[in-house]
Amino acid sequence: MALLNINGSDVELQAEDAMPLLWAVRDIAGMTGTKYGCGVGLCGACTVHIDGVAERSCQLTVGEVTGKAITTIEGLDPDGEHRVQQAWRELNVPQCGFCQSGQIMQAASFLAEKPDPSDDEILDAMSGNVCRCGCYQRIVAAVRLASTGS
Amino acid sequence: MLKYLEETQVTGTGSLLVQKLSRRMFLGTGTAFAIGAFATQAQAFPTWATGATAMPNGVREDPLIFVSIDEDGTVTLVAHRSEMGTGARTSLPMIMADEMEADWERVKIIQAEGDEPKYGNQDTDGSRSLRHHIQAARKIGGAVRHMLAAAAADRWGVDAATVTVANHEVKSASGDVLGFGDLAEAAMAMPVPAHDEVAYKSEDAFRYIGKGQVQITDLRDITTGDAIYGADVSVEGMKIAVIARPPVVGGRALSFDATDALNVPGVISVHELPYSNIPAKFAPLGGIAVVAENTYAAIQGRESLIIEWEAGPHGGYNSEPFMEEMKAAAGQPGVVLREQGDPDAAFADAARTFGQTYTQAHMAHIAMEPPAALASVTDQGIEIWAPVQSPYTTRTDVAEAMGVDPANVKVNVTLLGGGFGRKSKADFVTEAALLSREVGAPVRVQWTREDDVRHSFYHTASAERIEVALDEDGKVTGWKHNSVAPSILSTFAPDSGQQFFIESGMGHVDMPFDIPNVRCHNGKAMAHTRIGWFRAVSNVPRAWAIGSFVGELAAELGRDDRQMWLDLIGAPRSIDPVAEGYPENFWNYGEPMDEFPIETGRLADVLNMAADGIGYGKNLPEGEGIGLAVHRSFVSYVACAAHVKVVDGNVTVPEMHLAIDCGYAANPERIESQMQGAAVMGMTLALHSGITYRDGAVEQGNYYDYDVSRSDNYPRNVVTHIVPHPFSVHSTGVGEPGVPPVAPAIANALFHATGKRKRDLPMGVEV
C-alpha cells in the first residue's frame, strides 16, 4: 500500500514501492493521460511533474515519490486551461496526439523555470520528448506562443 | 487561389503560417445557402470513378447511417475511418457538416465500430480516406440539408425551393426560423434525395471545406489527457498480459520454466500461445504470455521466465550478407516487368553508361503508442477495444482465430497513437482474444517498446540498381532499374522471392521520365522476417534510388540538379502506360488511369514550386547545400527541396520546402501537418532508421539503438506549398506521399554541402 499525493489529493494505492510511478498512475490510480512510450526514459510520453519539475514517470518508483507532489496532465490546470494547453489548441499542434500530454507537461515545467526562453533553449528542453508524427515545428511554436503570447 | 496559399507565400515560413492561420481559427457564420432550385435546377457535382468500388465493401452514401440530429440540435456524425494522426476523423465529418450547413461547434463525432457492410470500407491505409470518401461525404451532407429543408417546408406549408439553410437553421422567405433540432425527427424521416436531385454548395460557399481553420476533433481531449487510446480502456475484472515472443520469426519455445514468474507478486498465470511462421498473414507469433493484475507485474513476470527457444527456419538471417546478396542480384538480370523500346540496343549503342546501387535497411514503424488491445471473451461473444487501422479485418481475423462467426465479434476503435501501417495488422488483438478465452476474464495485451521494435511487420530491406545509357550529348537514351527486396506477399502466400504488382507500381515500373528505352526488372530476394507496409511502402526505396541517382547523374554530367530533373521529366505529357511498356497489371494505386492519370507536368510544377520556394540557386556558405527530389505516389505529386548544413560534423536541415499536388485540398491545414510530419519521418529514415538481424533476431530494441529525429535536430522551417485546384480535380493521397522525396533530397543536398555521396539508408547523422 502506498500513499501518494497526486494532483493535490492524497490517494492510497495498492502498489509496491518498486513499481514505476507510470504504472501506478495508469493501472492503479486509473489516470491514463500519462502514456507509456518506451519505459527507459528516452521518449518523454510519461512525463509528469514531481514538486513542479518535469520527470519521466517510468524512471521513478512509487517509493521515490512518496511524500512528494505529483502532477499529471489531468491535474496541470483544474479547467484544462493552462497557457501551454491553450497554445497547443491555438496552433492545432497534435497529429495522433499520443505524445502530447508528455510534451505539454515538459513544456509547462520548462516555462515555469524559464519564462522567456530562446529558440535553442526550447529545442534543447523539448529534445527528450519524441513525436513520431513529427509535430516538432508546431510544438516549438506552441512553446514560444505560451511563453511570449506571440 | 486558395487563401491558404496566399498565406503560405506571404508568411514564408511554416511556423508563422500555422500561427497566423490558427489565430483566426474562428468559424465564419457563412452565407445563407438557398436550397433554391431544389429538385428543379439541382446542381449536382459531377462524380467520378475511383478505386473505392474495388475495395472490400466499397463506399456507403446513406445519410441515415452517418448522420443523426438530436432535438437539442446536436448533429452527430459517424467517423468510419480510423484516426492515427492524419485527420481523417476530422476532415470527412467536416465535409459532411459543411455541405449540410451544420455549425461545427454543434457537431459531435462518434467512431464507427468495425462494420464494413454497414459503413463501407474502413481500412485506413493507402492514403485513401479522402480520395475514396470525399464524394460520399458531400453527398451525405447535401442530402441531409435537403431533408431539413423539405421538413421545414412541410411544417410551413411552403415550397421547399423558397427556404434557405444556413448555419444550423432553416429560414422561410417570410422570416420564420427553425433550428436543426426542431426539425430533427421530421427531417430524418424524409426520403433521401438522389444525387442528381441535390443542389450542392458552390465552392465559394464552403465554410470549412478547403479552408483549413477547423480544430481537429480530439484536440481538447488530447491536451487534457482525456483522449482514449488502446491501452486506456479498462473493464471490470480486466487482467494485463505481456508476452515473450520467439526472437526469430517461425521459432518456438522448446521448453520454459515459469516458476519464478508465477512467484512475482501480481502474476496470475502463464500461458503458451500457438506459434506461426510466414506466411501466416496477421496471425500472432505465439510465445509465452504472463497474465497479471497490472502491467508492472506482467513485465516483471516475463523477465522472470526461463525459456529455451528454437530459432526455426529463419535463424540464419543475417543482414550484412543478405544485403550483399541483394546487391549482387540487383546487378544481374531479373524478371522483366516493364519493357519499352529496345533497352539492350540503347546500352549497346551508348556513348557511355552510368550506374549506381542504392540500399535501404529494414525499418520498424515505432508509433509512439506501442500495440495494445483489450479483449473480452464471454459466452455472449467477443468484444474488442483496440487502436486498429482496419477494424473490420480485425473483426474477421479475430473471428477466424477464435473459430466464431464475425457476427459474434464487436470491434470498438480507439484513437491510434500513430499507425504508419503497423496497426493494420491485428496480431496483437488476436493475442488478447486468445488470452481472454484462456483466462476467462477480459485481457489487455500490452506490447513493450522492445516488443514493438523486435516483432513488427517490417518495411522491406532493398537494393535498387539503376543504369542509364547516354548518347554523345549526354542525353539519356536508356534506363534499367532492377529492384530487389523481399516482398510483402511473403506474409500472405508461399514466397517466390519476387515482388508483386502492387509493389512494382510504387515508383518502379511507373518511373515517369521521358526516356525512349526502359527496362524495369526484379531480382529475387527471399523473406526471412514478417514483411509489412510502412508509410509510403515501396515508394521509399524507389524514390531514394531514383532521386539520388538523378543527383548523381547531374554531377556526373556537370549539370544543374533542377535542370537534370526537368530534362528527364521532359515536356508535360499524360503517360500512356501501353505505349511506354507498363505491365498489363500495372497498379495505379487501385485508381482508374483515365480519372487519375500520370501527368508529368504536375511533377515538374511541384518540383519548381519547392525549388523556387527555397530559393534554389542561391549562394550558400561552405558546408551547406540544397538538394531536390520529386516523386509521384498515392496518386499525388510531391517535391522536396532540402537545405542541408553540416554542423560539427552532423547533418542538419535548417529549411525544407515540400510542394504537394494532391488534387483538391479539402483540409489544407491537415495537409500541412502531414507534410511537416513527413519531413520529420523522412529525415528520421534518412539518418537513423535501420533494423538489422543477427541469426534471425532483430538487433535493436528501443530508442537507445533505434532513434528518431528529435526537436534538437529535425527539419526546421518546413514550408508547405499546396497546388490549388477546384473540387473537380480529384483529391488524392496525403498521408503517405510526403515521405518518399525527403531522404533523396537530403542526400543530394548533403552532396552539394560536402561532396560526399550516400547510397545506403540509413546514412547516419555524422558526415
Say yes or no: B558 and B704 in one domain: yes
* DSSP 3-state of B484: strand
pLDDT at B34 (0 to 100)? 52
Same domain, B307 and B179: no
B300 and B267 in one domain? yes
pLDDT, mean of residues B487-516: 98
Task: Please tell me the predicted confidence (pLDDT) of residue A1.
Answer: 87
User: What confidence score (pLDDT) does residue B325 get?
Assistant: 98
- Tell me if B224 and A73 make a contact (CB, 8 A cut-off): yes
Mean pLDDT of B476-493: 98
Most B-contacting residue of A6, A34, A38, A103 (CB-CB within 10 A), to test interface:
A38
Pair B197, B173 in one domain: yes
Q: Do A71 and A20 share a structural domain?
A: yes
For residue B43, the model assigns a pLDDT of: 83
Q: How many CB atoms lie within 10 A of CB A52?
A: 12
User: Contact at 8 Å (CB) between B111 and B416?
Assistant: no
Nearest CA in chain B to A136: B711
What does the block give as the cell for A4? 501518494
Residue B586 cell numbers, joined = 500495372
Residue of B nearest to A98 (CA): B417
Task: Look up residue B232 and give its DSSP letter.
Answer: G
Q: Are B744 and B540 in contact (CB under 8 A)?
A: no
Do the chains contact at B368 and A20, CB–CB below 8 Å? no
Q: Is the peptide bond before B726 cis (omega within 30 degrees of 0)?
A: no
CB pairs under 8 A between A and B: 199
A71 shares a domain with A93: no
B679 contacts on A by Cβ (under 8 Å): 134
CA distance B214 to chain A (A): 9
A97 vs B218: CB contact, 8 Å cut-off?
Answer: yes
CA-to-CA distance for B231 and A27, rounded, in angstroms? 10
* Together in a domain, A51 and A92: no
Nearest chain B Cα to A22, which residue?
B296
Amino acid B42: pLDDT: 64
Closest CA to B76 of B101, B110, B45: B110
CATH number at residue A93: 1.10.150.120
Predicted pLDDT at B47: 97
Count of H-run helices and E-run strands, chain B = 21, 28
Residues 6 or more apart whose CB falls under 8 angstroms from that of B748 comprise: B547, B548, B550, B551, B561, B625, B627, B628, B629, B642
CA torsion sign for B191, B195, B198, B203 is positive
Chain A residues lying within 8 Å of B420, measured CB to CB: 132
Mean pLDDT of B661-690: 98
Residues A144, A96, single domain; the answer is yes
**Which of A11, A44, A75 finishes a domain?**
A75
Within-domain flag for B5: no
Reduced to 3 states (helix: H, G, I; strand: E, B; else coil), residue B68 is strand
Q: Both A63 and A110 in a single domain? A: no
Number of domains into which chain A is organized: 2
CB contact under 8 A, A80 and B224: yes
* pLDDT attached to residue A111: 98
What percent of chain B has pLDDT above 90? 94
pLDDT in tens, B4-53: 333 333 333 333 233 233 333 333 334 455 554 343 446 899 999 999 99
Residues of chain A positioned with their CB less than 8 A from the CB of B742: none
For A17, which residue in chain B has the nearest alpha carbon?
Answer: B296
As a residue count, chain B comes to 767
Q: Coil, strand, or helix at residue B106?
A: helix
Sequence-distant (≥ 6) Cβ neighbours of residue B533 within 8 angstroms? B125, B421, B424, B457, B459, B488
Cβ separation B296–A19 shorter than 8 A: yes
Mean pLDDT, chain A, integer: 97
* B244-297 residue pLDDT tens: 999 999 999 999 999 999 999 999 999 999 999 999 999 999 999 999 999 999
Shared domain for B323 and B414, answered yes or no, is no
pLDDT greater at residue A107 or residue B1: A107
- With an 8 Å Cβ cutoff, are A135 and B15 in contact? no
CA B271, distance to chain mean position in Å, is 35
Q: What are phi and psi of A103, to 5 degrees?
A: -60, -45
Same structural domain for residues A61 and A36? yes
Q: What is the mean pLDDT of residues B353-375?
A: 98
Instruction: Specify whether A6 is located in the same domain as A51.
Output: yes
Q: Please give the grid coordinates belonging to residue B460.
A: 522491406
On whether residue B81 sits in a domain, the answer given is yes
Tens-digit pLDDT profile for residues B203-234: 999 999 999 999 999 999 999 999 999 999 99
CA distance linking residue A93 with residue B289, whole number of Å = 38
Cβ distance of A132 and B23 shorter than 8 Å: no
Residue B695: per-residue pLDDT: 98
Residues A64 and A123 in one domain: no
Asked whether residue B428 falls in the same domain as residue B472, the answer is: no
User: How far is CA B113 from each of CA B80, B120, B387, B396, rounded to the nearest angstrom?
Assistant: 8, 12, 11, 13
pLDDT value at position B29? Answer: 38
B227 CB neighbours in chain A (<8 A) are 97
The C-alpha atoms of residue B697 and residue B287 are separated, in whole angstroms, by: 15
Structure-block grid coordinates of residue A36 = 507509456
Query: Which parts of B71-195 are beta strand (E)?
Result: 75-79, 107-111, 164-166, 169-171, 177-179
Does residue A36 sit in the same domain as residue A93? no
Residue B670 lies in a domain: yes
Q: Determine, yes or no, domain membership for B171.
A: yes
> Are B256 and B288 in contact, with CB atoms under 8 Å apart?
yes
| Nearest-CA distance B711 → chain A (Å) | 5
What are the backbone angles phi and psi of residue B750, rounded to the nearest 5°?
Answer: -60, -40
Q: Which of B384, B412, B446 is the last residue of a domain?
A: B446
A96 vs chain B: nearest CA distance in angstroms?
Answer: 4
Cβ distance of B216 and A94 shorter than 8 Å: yes
Q: Are residues B269 and B326 in the same domain?
A: no
- Verify whether the Cβ–Cβ distance A35 to B368 is below 8 Å: yes
> Across all residues in chain B, what is the average pLDDT?
94
In terms of residues, how long is chain A?
150
Report residue A150's pLDDT band, with 50, 70 and 90 as the boundaries.
confident
Same-domain status, A69 and A11: yes
Q: Name the minimum distance, in Å, from the CA of A38 to any CA of chain B.
A: 5
CA atoms within a 13 Å half-sphere pointing along the CA-CB vector of B674: 31
pLDDT at B766: 95
Same-domain check for residues B197 and B243: no
In the predicted structure, residue B584 carries a pLDDT above the cut 60: yes
Distance CA B678, CA B640 (A): 10
Instruction: Identify whether residues A70 and A89 lie together within a single domain.
Output: no
- Cα B524 from chain centroid? 27
φ, ψ dihedrals at B357, nearest 5°: -120, 135
C-alpha cell at A42: 528516452
Yes or no: say if B81 and B94 are a contact pair by the CB < 8 Å rule. Answer: no
Are the CB atoms for B93 and B107 separated by under 8 Å?
yes
Q: Please name the residues in contact with A82: beta carbons below 8 A apart, sequence gap of 6 or more.
A: A76, A104, A108
DSSP-derived pairing of the beta strands B335-340 and B517-523: antiparallel
Q: Are A27 and A16 contacting, i.e. CB atoms less than 8 angstroms apart? A: no
- Contact status, residue B73 vs residue B202, Cβ threshold 8 Å: no
Q: Which among A75, A105, A134 is the end of a domain?
A: A75
Kindly list the residues from chain A whose CB atom is less than 8 angstroms away from the CB atom of residue B677.
Answer: 95, 133-135
Name the strand (E) or helix (H) holding B353.
strand B352-360
ipTM above 0.90, yes or no: yes
Interface test with A, best of B15, B224, B388, B684 (most A CBs within 10 A): B224
For testing contact with chain A, the best of B17, B218, B221, B222 (most A CBs within 10 A): B222
Residues of A in contact with B240 (CB under 8 A): 27
Report how far apart, in Å, the C-alpha atoms of B492 and of each of A18, A119, B230, B497, B522 are.
44, 49, 26, 13, 19
Residue of A nearest to B680 (CA): A134
Q: What is the CATH number of the domain that holds B123?
A: 3.30.365.10
Confidence band for A149, pLDDT divided at 50, 70 and 90: confident
- Chain A residue with the nearest C-alpha to that of B705: A42
Residue B313, pLDDT > 60, answer: yes
Beta bridge partners, B195, equal none
Q: Bridge partners of A53?
A: A50
Give how far B347 is from chain A: nearest CA, Å.
43
Nearest to A36 among B18, B220, B231 (CB): B231
Considering only CB atoms, which chain B residues are within 8 Å of A150? 19
Is the domain of B414 the same as that of B560? Answer: no
Beta bridge partners of B194: none
d(CA B51, CA A43): 39
Q: What is the pLDDT averaged over residues B648-652?
A: 97
Per-residue pLDDT tens over the stretch B537-566 = 999 999 999 999 999 999 999 999 999 999
> Which pLDDT tens digit goes with each residue over B735-764?
999 999 999 999 999 999 999 999 999 999
Identify whether B21 is part of a domain.
no
DSSP for B601-635 reads HHHHHHHHHHHHHHTTT----TTEEEEEEEEEETT
The residue behind cell 543478405 is: B322
- The DSSP bridge partners found for residue B253 are B309
The CATH code of the domain that includes A53 is: 3.10.20.30
User: What's the pLDDT tens digit per position in A24-33?
Assistant: 999 999 999 9
Q: Is residue B518 part of a domain?
A: yes
Of B215, B446, B677, the CB nearest to A134: B677
Cβ neighbours of B87 in A, within 8 Å: 95
Number of neighbouring beta carbons within 10 Å of residue B102: 29
pLDDT of residue B33: 53
Report the SS3 class of residue B765. coil
pLDDT at B677 over 80: yes
Does residue B655 belong to any structural domain of this protein? yes
The torsion region of residue B420 among left (phi > 0), alpha (psi -120 to 50) and beta comes to left
Note whether A102 and A128 are same-domain residues: yes
Residue B111, domain member (yes or no): yes
Host domain of residue B200:
32-214
Distance from CA of A128 to the nearest CA of B (A): 7
Q: How far is B727 from chain A (nearest CA, A)?
A: 25
Of B446, B476, B502, the domain-final residue: B446
Contacts of A35 in chain B (CB under 8 A): 229, 368-369, 417
Residue with C-alpha cell 514538486?
Answer: A51
- A50: nearest Cα among A42, A62, A38: A62
Q: What is the 3-state secondary structure (H, E, C) of A58-113?
A: HHCEHHHHCCCEEECHHHCCCCCCCHHHHHHHHCCCCCCCCCHHHHHHHHHHHHHH
B388 and B439 in a single domain? The answer is: yes
Strands (E), B524-675: 624-633, 636-647, 650-661
Q: In chain A, what residues touch B218 (CB-CB under 8 Å)?
A: 94, 97
- Cβ <8 Å between A135 and B676: yes
Q: Which amino acid is at B648?
A: D
Pairing between strand B517-523 and B372-378?
unpaired
Which residues span the domain enclosing A118? 83-148
Is the C-alpha dihedral spanning B495, B499, B500, B503 positive or negative?
A: positive
Which of B669, B678, B708 lies nearest to residue A132, judging by beta carbons?
Answer: B708
- Whether residue B619 is found in the same domain as residue B716: yes
Q: At what angle do helices A136-148 and A83-90 cross, to 10 degrees?
A: 130
Closest CA–CA distance from residue B677 to any residue of chain A (Å) = 4
Nearest CA in chain A to B453: A38
Shortest Cα distance, chain B CAs vs residue A127, angstroms: 5
**B360 Cβ partners below 8 Å, 6+ apart?**
B459, B461, B462, B540, B541, B544, B760, B761
Evaluate whether A31 touches A25 at the Cβ level (below 8 Å): yes
Contact B688, B747 (CB under 8 A): no
Residue B18 has its nearest CB partner, among A35, A85, A141, at: A141
A-chain CB neighbours of B85 within 8 Å are 94-97, 133
More confident residue, A149 or A103: A103
Contacting residues of B for A43, CB less than 8 Å apart: 368, 449, 703
**Contact between chains at A20 and B677 (C-beta distance less than 8 A):** no
Q: Which of A23, A80, A95 is nearest residue B673 as measured by Cβ atoms? A: A95
**Total structural domains within chain B:** 3
Q: Which residue of A has its CA nearest to B417?
A: A98
Same domain, yes or no, for B387 and B514? no
Partner-chain residue, chosen from B18, B448, B680, that has the shortest CB–CB distance to A39: B448
Q: In this complex, which of B220, B225, B679 lies closest to A33 when CB atoms are compared?
A: B225
- Report phi then psi at B600, rounded to 5: -70, -25
The distance in angstroms from the start CA to the end CA of chain A is: 47
Say what the pLDDT of residue B11 is.
33
Look at residues B214, B239, B271 and tell me which one is the last residue of a structural domain.
B214
Domain boundary among A75, A96, A125: A75
Cell of B98: 459543411
Residue from B20, B89, B214, B296 to probe the interface with A (highest A Cβ count within 10 Å): B296
**Residue B458 near residue B497 (C-beta atoms within 8 A):** no
Chain A nearest CA to B605, separation (Å): 26
